Amino acid sequence: MGGAHADVSKHVKAYIGVFVALAVLTVVTVLASYIQVSMGLHITIALVIATIKASFVAAIFMHLKWERGASIWWSLCLCAIFFAVLMMLPSLTVYDHPPRVEDKMWDLPAVQKAPSEHH
Amino acid sequence: MSGESHHGSSGHHGNESHHELGFLRKWVFSIDHKVIGIQYTITSLCFLFLGFCLMMLMRWQLAYPLKPLPFIGHWFSEQIMPGGIMLPEFYNSLGAMHGTIMVFLGVVPLLVGGFGNYVMPLQIGAPDMSFPKLNMMSYWVYFCGGVVMLASFFMPGGAANSGWTSYAPLSVISQQGPTFYAKFFSGQTFWLMGMVFLITSSLLGSVNFIVTIIQLRAKGMTMFRLPFFVWSQFVTAFLLLLAFPPLEAAGVLQLMDRLAGTSFFMPSGLIVSGQAAPYTGGGSPLLWQHLFWFLAHPEVYVLILPGLGIVAEVIANNTRKPLWGYRIMIYAIVFLGFMSFIVWAHHMFMTGMGTKISAFFAATTMIISIPSVVVLTAMLLSLHRSSIRFSVPMLFALAFLPMFAIGGLTGLPLGLPASDIHLHDTYYVIGHFHYVVVPGSIFAIFAGIYHWYPKATGRKLNEVLGKMHFWLSVIFANGVFFPMFFQGMAGVSRRLYDQTAYAHGEAIQSLARMSSWSAWCLGLAQLPFILNFFMSMFAGKKVKENPWDATTLEWAAPSPPPHGNFLTEPVVYRGPYEYSVPGNPRDFYPQFVTEA
Amino acid sequence: MSTQVLPYTVHPHPITGVYSGKLGTWLFLASEVMLFGALFSTYVLLRIGAGDAWPSHHDTHLSIPIGTINTLVLIVSSVTMVMAWASLKMGNLSMGRAYLAVTVLLAITFLVVKFFFEYKVKWAAGTRPSTSTFFAIYFTLTGLHAIHILGGIVVISYFLFPGVGLWKKDPEYYTNRIECTGLYWHFVDLVWIFLFPVLYLM
């Protein structure tokens, strides 16, 4: 790996490129939040942009693009799998406790004011 | 640690005497993995003893409900034991703290921090852990966590009393005061802060373990030449690394609920003592259970995997035979570790989970029992046609096998939703997991102590006292836990303060009494061990580096090993369990020897 | 400190291809992923549970311009961090230190904006974590993230001033440590990349 990094100056260009991309995507995600689409699509757009940004950071800034250490990749794979399991957790809680969702138990006391308007 | 790396630093250890460290640096803030291992071992043995004492107190109330505790009853304040009779709140505190102390301050730090730290680097032929300072830090963070946990006993309202699982919303509303000051200085808040410390310590430790095993193996030590104990530590470290953070997050959220009045785990419309609880609601008590068990099921395997590792080492050494199915055992525990992340909700069948999810988790639970059985079978087959050397560690290892099997097999009915309905939260559950942990993990710990004590001190533990300790422990451990299966099947709930209040409990009160007397005798049975442990440091039989004629690398180092471990850099030539190799004059063929 | 020297603290292991510090940092980050993963999962669960009662981003009155500025501040700090490492790799210590100093200043800027332009305003308006589930999550997640930023400031400052002596002894070791610090710092940035849309825009 020491050899691969010998001419780091080449990387610097990539860093600047990623910086521009991140800045542009930040502006894009803010602008996208003003577009009037359904909540589901809205969330999807925001998360997709965030994932793209995160991938740039991980691949270039964190050098994963040039990473050859198999142990690192193995650890990250395991982490990704269990992260996915962790993300299943809300659906396990909500969707297989049908009475709670149907009765709208959690909505009962109207804790937060219901949003007056979606636009 | 500073300076450039260079391989073959064997010549370096000669000038050690020039750098004699002061007492504080050598024994208190040491960065030597062996000293840290001993620190962990001593501290966690003290915690084990404390947790055991809490349990012996509880056993009085269970055996003789509402009778004053004889002899020592008046030592306690009137607020918790008026007239020597234990109050229910105090009983609950004892239960919660017994569980927490045993699991998080006793067994895990002993198996991972103690044995892992001391033995693992020696077995892989490393001079130390990869990050010695981080290692020291993880011990001291653990120590702080222990202190914070113990401090919770001295809070107004007593120690945490919502069970070791700390289920919300009970744990959020219990011991709540009106002011921030009162909220902060309460047993449950200190419990949560203690947990954050302990989890952080485990995380630091597990990073260190994984890096050490991957990076610092001696020349020739391939992954499939690693002793089984190292593999068990490797899998355990991954479990600690990836399963603990969700509980850390959950702990932070519960702290927010308790201190800042948020409602992460507080449902809407909660009524406490006839009054609406002052929470905005909208939270989910189930979320706590999910996050808790996401940690705590892998945690169960953290409790047992290093134990299996120790038992495997002891069995191979005392049967004078290679382990049967060494590779299969490794594949089994790797699979076990992986599966342990997707079985957690079998603790939650009674929460109203639907059939689909219950079926999924019941299936994964049945699947995970397969690798456990594979490992156990492999160890049993290792005994087949061997001339067993009945040393004290081997006795403990032999007792481990059937009793771990009892613990494991009694878990199957709990993993099936239908039978779990009857057995959930009864003494059956207590009996089940105590069989895994006490004659399982703790017997493995004893086997490990008897096995590696000569390495750490240069002296053997006394055989006669050891055998006394073993036989008494086996008899009384079964006496404590076996009656619990019957109590549980009779329907006695595990958290009852006084089971005689119910007819079905009253009818089998004699079983509770049997458990209690066995528990107190089990306490007495540890006296030979405590005596032996301290006496043998000065009076034990002196031994050379390899008293057990063992094959793994730790026996190549002097006993006790100096700073830096090995006198010459070890090189590994073969697998870990080359015992009774045909055509070889001696019955063992160490990993580190070129010619027989 | 000790007489014995551990292998692979500086140079990569010939077989695994990494030096120990980097592997350790990545493992630590894996555990951090699980920590923030649990919190995100909590967010998703509570949001699904609240259904329509969840406030839209117009009702929460979080300032999108301030959030956007802070996002850009963190992104720039990530660039300066990686440039610090690149400068050190090319043997330029003074340039590397300059970049590190800028990184610390940007991190401090982030915290100042966070505390004085966001928390303080919310607090003055009577908004507390106990106000609603949304603000419980907002304060907990951003607070935990701010603690991570604080940790980063401490570590980078250490290497900027007292820790710089290591460069004279072993420049490669020092550069490696900056790389590991950078990994952590980029991870903190990465968490914010998700936190920003989740809390401010959705």
B278 touches chain A (CB under 8 A): no
Q: How far is the CA of B137 from the CAs of B21, B104, B134, in angstroms? A: 19, 17, 5
Interface test with C, best of A13, A22, A67 (most C CBs within 10 A): A22
| 3-class SS of residue B353 | coil
Distances (CA, A) of B571 to B124, B588, C12: 10, 17, 20
**Contacts (Cβ under 8 Å, ≥6 apart) of B585:** B596
B464: CB partners within 8 A, 6+ apart: none
Distance between start and end Cα atoms, chain A: 52
Per-residue pLDDT tens for A88-117?
Answer: 887 777 766 554 444 444 444 444 444 444
Alpha carbon distance B262, B249 (integer Å): 15
How far is residue B39's CA from residue C1's CA, in Å, rounded to a whole number?
A: 20
Length of chain C, in residues:
202
Q: Characterize C141-151 residue by residue with b for buried, 16 or more Cβ atoms within 10 angstroms of its Cβ, and e for exposed.
A: bbbbbbebbee
ipTM: 0.94
Is C193 in CB contact (< 8 Å) with chain A?
Answer: yes
CB contact (8 A) between residue A109 and residue B268: yes
Q: Where does residue A63 fall: left (phi above 0), alpha (psi -120 to 50 degrees), or beta otherwise?
A: left
* C-alpha distance from A87 to closest chain C C-alpha (Å): 5
Q: How far is CA A42 from CA A38, A74, B179, B407, C154, in A?
A: 6, 34, 42, 51, 37
Distance from CA of B411 to the nearest CA of C (A): 28
Residues from chain C that touch A49, judged by Cβ atoms under 8 A, are: 197
Q: Give B48-82 pLDDT, tens digit per residue.
A: 999 999 999 999 999 999 999 998 888 888 888 99
Q: How much is the CA Rg of chain B, to the nearest whole Å?
A: 24
What are the pLDDT digits (tens) for C88-122? 999 999 999 999 999 999 999 999 999 999 999 99
Choose among B160, B364, B577, B209: nearest CA to A75: B209
pLDDT in tens, C136-187: 999 999 999 999 999 999 999 999 999 999 999 999 999 999 999 999 999 9
* Chain C from 2 to 61: CB within 8 A of any A CB: 11-12, 16-18, 22-23, 26-27, 30, 33-34, 37-38, 40-41, 44-45, 48-59
Cα separation, B59 vs B233, in Å, equals 34
Q: Which residues between 77 and 116 in chain A have a beta carbon less than 8 angstroms from any beta carbon of chain B? A: 78-79, 82, 85-86, 89, 92-93, 96-100, 105-109, 111-112
Burial readout C68-87 (b: 16 or more C-beta within 10 A, e: otherwise) = bbbbbbbbbbbbbbbbbbbb
Structure tokens at B160: 């945490």
The CB-side HSE value for A119 (13 A sphere, CA atoms) comes to: 6
Contact criterion met (CB below 8 Å) for B347 and B293: yes
* Amino acid at position A77, single letter: C
Q: Of the candidates B424, B418, B435, which has an alpha carbon nearest to the alpha carbon of residue B495?
A: B424
Cα–Cα distance, B454 to B44 (Å, whole number): 20
| CB-based contact B313:B228 (threshold 8 Å) | yes
Q: For residues B89 and B157, give the distance between their C-alpha atoms in angstroms, rounded to a whole number.
A: 9
Q: Is B80 within 8 Å of chain A by CB?
A: no
Chains that touch A (3 or more CB pairs under 8 A): B, C
Nearest to C157 by CA among C183, C191, C185: C185
Any idea what the Cα angle at residue B271 is, between residues B269 and B277, rounded to 5°?
80
Contacts of C79 in chain A (CB under 8 A): 15-16, 18-19, 61
Taking only the tens place, the pLDDT of each residue in B422-458 is 999 999 999 999 999 999 999 999 999 999 999 999 9
Nearest of C199, C95, C105, C92 to residue C152 by alpha carbon: C105
CB atoms within 10 A of CB C156: 24
Question: SS3 of A108, please?
Answer: coil
Q: Which of B353, B401, B352 is nearest to B373 (CA)?
A: B401
Q: How far apart are CA B219 and CA B570, in angstroms?
A: 7
3-state helix, strand, coil in chain C (%, to 5): 80, 0, 20
What span, in angstroms and rounded, lies between the C-alpha atoms of B197 and B251? Answer: 11
Residue-level pLDDT, tens digit, chain B, 596 residues: 333 333 333 333 334 444 567 888 888 889 999 999 999 999 999 999 999 999 999 999 999 999 999 988 888 888 889 988 999 999 999 999 999 999 999 999 999 999 999 999 999 999 999 999 999 999 999 999 999 999 999 998 889 999 999 999 999 998 888 889 999 999 999 999 999 999 999 999 999 999 999 999 999 999 999 999 999 999 999 999 999 999 999 999 999 999 999 999 999 888 888 888 888 888 889 899 999 999 999 999 999 999 999 999 999 999 999 999 999 999 999 999 999 999 999 999 988 888 888 899 999 999 999 999 999 999 999 999 998 999 999 999 999 999 999 999 999 999 999 999 999 999 999 999 999 999 999 999 999 999 999 999 999 999 999 999 999 999 999 999 999 999 999 999 999 999 999 999 999 999 999 999 999 999 999 999 999 999 999 999 999 999 999 999 999 999 999 988 999 999 999 999 999 998 888 889 999 998 75
Of B238, B280, B356, the CB nearest to A96: B356
Question: Which amino acid, residue B444?
Answer: A
C-alpha B217/C-alpha B3 separation (Å) is: 20
User: Is residue B63 within 8 Å of residue B516, measured between CB atoms?
Assistant: yes
In terms of Cβ atoms closer than 10 Å to its own Cβ (0-12, 13-18, 19+), residue B111 is buried
Strand segments, DSSP code E, in B51-103 are none
| DSSP code per residue over B144-211 | HHHHHHHHGGGSTT-B--STTTT-TTHHHHTT--SSHHHHHSSHHHHHHHHHHHHHHHHHHHHHHHHH
What is the pLDDT, as a whole number, of residue B2? 35
The angle at the Cα of B200, spanning C31 to A53, to the nearest 5 degrees, equals 30
Give phi and psi for B426, each to the nearest 5: -105, 180
Start-to-end CA span in chain B (Å): 37
Among residues B336, B304, B321, B331, the alpha carbon closest in space to that of B403 is found at B304
In chain A, residues with a C-beta closer than 8 Å to the C-beta of B281 are 106, 109, 111
A75 with B210: Cβ contact below 8 A: yes
Rg from Cα positions in chain A:
21
Chain A residues in contact with C128 by the CB 8 A cut-off are none
- Rounded to a whole number of angstroms, the CA Rg of chain C reads 20
For A68-84, write each residue's pLDDT tens digit: 889 999 999 999 999 99
Nearest neighbour of B256 by CB, restricted to C20, C31, C136: C136
Dist. CA C116–CA B504, nearest whole Å: 63
Closest chain B C-alpha to A52 CA, distance in angstroms? 24
**Residue B538 in tokens:** 């000065």
Q: Model pTM greater than 0.80?
A: yes
The answer to whether B351 and B417 have CB atoms below 8 angstroms apart is: no
Q: Give ∠ CA B258-B264-B270 in degrees, rounded to 5.
A: 80
**B267, A105: Cβ pair inside 8 Å?**
yes
Question: B159 forms bridges with which residues in the sheet?
Answer: B187
DSSP code string of B532-589: HHHHHHHHSPB--S-TT---SGGGGS-SS--TTS-SS--B--S-TT-BS-TT-SSSB-
Distance from the A101 Cα atom to the nearest Cα atom in chain B, whole angstroms: 12
DSSP C135-152: HHHHHHHHHHHHHHHHHH
Identity of the residue numbered B96: A
